[in-house]
Amino acid sequence: MQFVEFARSQTALRDAITAAYRRDERDCVALMMEQAAMPDTQVASIKALAAKLVAQVRKERTKSSGVDALMHEFTLSSQEGIALMCLAEALLRIPDRLTADKLIRDKISGGDWASHLGNSASLFVNAAAWGLLVTGKLVSSHSEQGLSSALTRLIAKGGEPLIRKGVDLAMRMLGKQFVTGETIEEALANGREREARGYRFSYDMLGEAAMTEEDAQRYLRDYEVAIHAIGKESNGRGIYNGPGISVKLSAIHPRYARMKHERMMAELLPRLKGLFLLAKQYNIGLNIDAEEADRLEISMDLVEALANDPDLNGFEGIGIVVQAYQKRCPYVIDFLIDLARRTGHRFMVRLVKGAYWDAEIKRAQVDGLDGYPVYTRKVYTDVSYLACAKKLLAAQDAIYPQFASHNAYTLSAVYHLAEGKDYEFQCLHGMGETLYDQVVGKGKLDKPCRIYAPVGSHETLLAYLVRRLLENGANSSFVNRIVDENVSIEELVEDPVAEAARFGGLPHNKIALPVELYGAGRKNSAGMDLANEHVLQKLQQALLASEQKAWLAAPLLADGNESANPAQAVRNPANHQDVVGQVQEASREDVELALQAAVRAAPVWAATAPAKRAEALDRMADLMEANMPALMGLAVREAGKTLNNAIAEVREAVDFCRYYAAQVREEFDNSRHPALGPVVCISPWNFPLAIFIGEVVASLAAGNVVLAKPA
């Protein structure tokens, strides 16, 4: 039985990427620090330029912002402006316009908005980030109550028409701030003025994470239409000087995941190749955006296939985004350089820090992974960025580097490292222009900068917007600190390598490893990363071995008794040819024997010290964890679980054991909590291991003996 879809060719460089995922953060940081280190004189020059850039940005920042219109037109206080932005953002989450309109008309204007938009806490969650936009300052002291009464005041003042108009304007403003145009034609037209000043563009058709094939086909069509429009606009300016496009693979296939390897190569690859062929026809660059870390390896398979495709021979517009916050980043770059040289391509590689940091940390914790795919301190990402920048710049024959950052130090460092090299900067529309206005053009630093320009309607903006807000809202983020006058210029332009050294290269002390999530009292259950090739290989072998085993499920009767019932075959519900094993049901006599044994054993177990019982449960948890693949194999073949569900099933069982063990280890007193005696547990079929173990171990922990009837 094929459990895992394998396809990719194993090369040493690909293996290095896979292995780096599980490397200790300390080792990765040490390596990056060594590679990013620069002579003191160079660091001084970098700081000096960065300080100049920061001072200028701060000066420009005090000029008007796009929010002025809103504030003036409605004579709003900043508090009201922020409250309105929060409301506008909440309304964006309502999928259809009709409902949103109704909500404003019928409910909000009556002052009853809070109960209709979820609780007010979630309404104002991004207040700090909106504050940045409205006031140009990050004020952490917006109280929910203040904002809530500002909104009520606003409603009282202007009633329904003001709110509707205000929300509409706030939405359009949001749009203007983060989106270049609602259609590609509008975006291209809006880009021309900045192109004349020396900027370049990479257009991004908003939309990601298609949920259905219909969505994916729509996004694909959007990309195709956009490439034709961009291609015509480019009018032969070429990959480097002309505009290009950025594509999210999750937008063009609803099942973009490692576990769907075969389907990705059969369905997503041709779609992507189609887009590349179009881009090639117009000679424009097409960048594959980097998404979540668990998609990195499958994205490399796709890139490898494209690079080896004779139809794309010689095309220099294949663009790949790499994320410096990933421990695997330098190995990905090594692989790409090698791939480019082997296939005669020159890739465009956009180096970013990475936009999914919060999600990566959370996913690793939820999934109980060995460690984090990303660094845990921002400054390590900054260091990694510099080390990776050097690597990219050293391979001009194979790579056209594109450095995307809004951080003045990072920009300045790249500028100094890249002297005499062929490269470009990149920034996001509406975010980095004040900084790059000092870079682009004659009399400035005279380096090109490409603006990443989202295109789409307000409805498609949300996912993008939320990511930008998360980024801007983090108090470690550069765009946030640059407008915070409490942060001095010296602090802003600190050398990250020196700063990392002060942390000793150690992981963040407040971000516990997934296994330590519950503190010293209880180990988190270990998961399995089904996007890691090495994990998948080992799992495949273990699952095959478990398939060969002659499994027998039989009553466990005390005192060496065995059931006399005949065994019957248990078949895989998805494939009746697959006999999972044999089962011997218990007979009435077996049950009688078990009952007698339970009654005999009950006083002994009830008198056992709770700590001893806890020890046994912990051992049980460890054993299940050690035998996870075999248990998963049974969950897949007998209960029809997917591999992911099978992992969750085993982990839940492990967690139950450790949870109840922890409960009784410290505080349980046998004399105050007398045992019930024999307890019968009957489990349902849908969680044959997790719920079965959960009820059994809860009873055992409390000192009862258990007669367990499995599903």
Residue numbers at the binding site for ligand FAD (CB under 6 A)? 289-290, 321, 323, 325, 350, 352-357, 374-378, 380-381, 404-407, 410, 426-428, 452, 471, 476-478
Give the span between the Cα atoms of 459 and 476, in whole angstroms: 29
Which residue from 57, 32, 42, 52 is spatially nearest to 414, judged by alpha carbons? Answer: 42
Give the span between the Cα atoms of 389 and 382, in whole angstroms: 11
The DSSP-derived string for 624-689 is: HHHTHHHHHHHHHHHH---HHHHHHHHHHHHHHHHHHHHHHHHH--TTTS----SEEEE--SSSTT
Our CB check for ligand FAD shows the closer of 100 and 404 to be 404
3-state helix, strand, coil in the chain (%, to 5): 55, 10, 35
Our CB check for ligand FAD shows the closer of 404 and 664 to be 404
Smallest separation (angstroms) from ligand FAD to the CB of 289 = 3
Smallest separation (angstroms) from ligand FAD to the CB of 245 = 12
The amino acid present at 206, given as its one-letter code, is: L
Smallest separation (angstroms) from ligand FAD to the CB of 353 = 3
Our CB check for ligand FAD shows the closer of 74 and 380 to be 380
Residue carrying structure tokens 């690909």: 14
Residue carrying structure tokens 């450790």: 658
Give the span between the Cα atoms of 361 and 373, in whole angstroms: 8
Smallest separation (angstroms) from ligand FAD to the CB of 378 = 4
Smallest separation (angstroms) from ligand FAD to the CB of 487 = 12
Which residue from 235, 400, 385 is spatially nearest to 316, judged by alpha carbons? Answer: 400
Our CB check for ligand FAD shows the closer of 337 and 431 to be 431
Smallest separation (angstroms) from ligand FAD to the CB of 474 = 6
Smallest separation (angstroms) from ligand FAD to the CB of 287 = 7
Our CB check for ligand FAD shows the closer of 109 and 323 to be 323
Smallest separation (angstroms) from ligand FAD to the CB of 16 = 21
Smallest separation (angstroms) from ligand FAD to the CB of 482 = 9
Buried b (16+ CB within 10 A) or exposed e, 373-409: bbbbbbbbbbbbbbbbbbbbbebeebbbbbbbbbbbb
Which residue from 378, 348, 345 is spatially nearest to 361, judged by alpha carbons? Answer: 378
Which residue from 189, 218, 242, 206 is spatially nearest to 428, judged by alpha carbons? Answer: 206
Give the span between the Cα atoms of 654 and 666, in whole angstroms: 19
Give the span between the Cα atoms of 336 and 303, in whole angstroms: 9
Smallest separation (angstroms) from ligand FAD to the CB of 494 = 12
Smallest separation (angstroms) from ligand FAD to the CB of 451 = 7
Buried b (16+ CB within 10 A) or exposed e, 258-284: bbbbeebbebbbebbbebbebbbebbb
Q: Is 201 helix (H, G, I), strand (E, B) or coil?
A: strand
Which residue from 208, 223, 200, 222 is spatially nearest to 404, judged by alpha carbons? Answer: 200
Our CB check for ligand FAD shows the closer of 428 and 621 to be 428
Our CB check for ligand FAD shows the closer of 315 and 375 to be 375
- Residue 518 contacts by C-beta under 8 Å, 6 or more apart in sequence? 524
Our CB check for ligand FAD shows the closer of 222 and 289 to be 289
Degrees (nearest 5) of the Cα angle 376, 382, 386? Answer: 135
Smallest separation (angstroms) from ligand FAD to the CB of 688 = 39
Smallest separation (angstroms) from ligand FAD to the CB of 412 = 12
709 phi, psi to nearest 5 deg: -110, 105
Our CB check for ligand FAD shows the closer of 377 and 523 to be 377
Our CB check for ligand FAD shows the closer of 321 and 690 to be 321
Our CB check for ligand FAD shows the closer of 291 and 638 to be 291
- Residue 641 contacts by C-beta under 8 Å, 6 or more apart in sequence? 632, 635, 649
683 phi, psi to nearest 5 deg: -110, 155
Structure tokens belonging to residue 216: 């994916």
Q: Is 530 helix (H, G, I), strand (E, B) or coil?
A: coil
Smallest separation (angstroms) from ligand FAD to the CB of 27 = 16
What does the chain come to in residues? Answer: 711
Our CB check for ligand FAD shows the closer of 126 and 323 to be 323
Give the span between the Cα atoms of 183 and 23, in whole angstroms: 44
The amino acid present at 324, given as its one-letter code, is: A
Smallest separation (angstroms) from ligand FAD to the CB of 603 = 54
Our CB check for ligand FAD shows the closer of 289 and 649 to be 289
655 phi, psi to nearest 5 deg: -60, -40
Our CB check for ligand FAD shows the closer of 282 and 452 to be 452
Smallest separation (angstroms) from ligand FAD to the CB of 411 = 8
Give the span between the Cα atoms of 175 and 159, in whole angstroms: 24
Smallest separation (angstroms) from ligand FAD to the CB of 203 = 11
> Taking a C-beta distance cutoff of 8 angstroms, is the pair 657, 624 a contact?
yes
Give the span between the Cα atoms of 445 and 424, in whole angstroms: 12
Our CB check for ligand FAD shows the closer of 377 and 658 to be 377
Our CB check for ligand FAD shows the closer of 410 and 412 to be 410
579 phi, psi to nearest 5 deg: -90, 115
Our CB check for ligand FAD shows the closer of 74 and 452 to be 452
